[in-house]
Amino acid sequence: MIYVVRHGETDWNAQNKLQGKTDIPLNENGINSAKILMKELEDVEFDFVFSSPLKRAKETCRIIINNNKAIVFDDRLVERNHGELEGKHKNEFDKHRLWSLTESSPYESVETLDALRFRIYGFLDSLKTHKDKNILIVSHAGAIRIMTEYFKGKPSTNNLLEYTVENCEVLKFSWLC
């Protein structure tokens, strides 16, 4: 089973600002949510643990596993580079076009969905040799949207915003054999 967790809350999450690759740490609420999640997942024996190297994911992962497992930090799990949009309030840009599978993005400095998909799909493909293992992945909302697409297919709306995940939410996926 693959357990995919979005990092805990940051101040920018609380302020509804887009983070992207900006390296923001967890806030107190994010730390507390990760501690609650640690208790919820304490009976799961993870064979492999992967995390984005960004602070908010790293901190969340360390709390969840209670420093009892080795973590592999993988750059492919970082959030989408939002370029010019990083730090902007989410009402300052067209988030639907940003995540549309049918419309092109008007934001030239933002990482394309194809580029994001290439690295996330590549990461997930590399795990296929561990289909019978429990794997923890701690990452970010945008990266997790692509992971959800990988396992579930394209969303019915043709917009990846359909695949929303909250801070410290766990999604479970299994390999289709």
Quote the CA–CA distance of 113 and 100 in Å, as a whole number: 9
Over pLDDT 70: what percentage of the chain? 99
Residue 177 above 60 pLDDT?
no
Instruction: Name the pTM for this structure.
Output: 0.96
pLDDT confidence bin for 111, thresholds 50/70/90: very high
Active site residue 79: yes
Q: Which two tokens stand for residue 34?
A: 């990760």
Superfamily of chain region 2-173? Phosphoglycerate mutase-like (3.40.50.1240)
Residue 104 above 90 pLDDT?
no
For range 61-66, the mean pLDDT: 96
pLDDT digits over 117-158, tens only? 999 999 999 999 998 999 999 999 999 999 999 999 999 999
- Spot the catalytic one: 40, 45, 59, 79: 79
How many angstroms separate the most distant Cα atoms in the chain? 45
Angle at 79 between CA 104 and CA 21, to 5 degrees: 100
Which residue in this structure is represented by tokens 């939410």?
169
Active site residue 140: no
Domain boundaries, the chain: 2-173
- Spot the catalytic one: 7, 82, 111, 140: 7
> Helix or strand or coil: residue 73?
strand
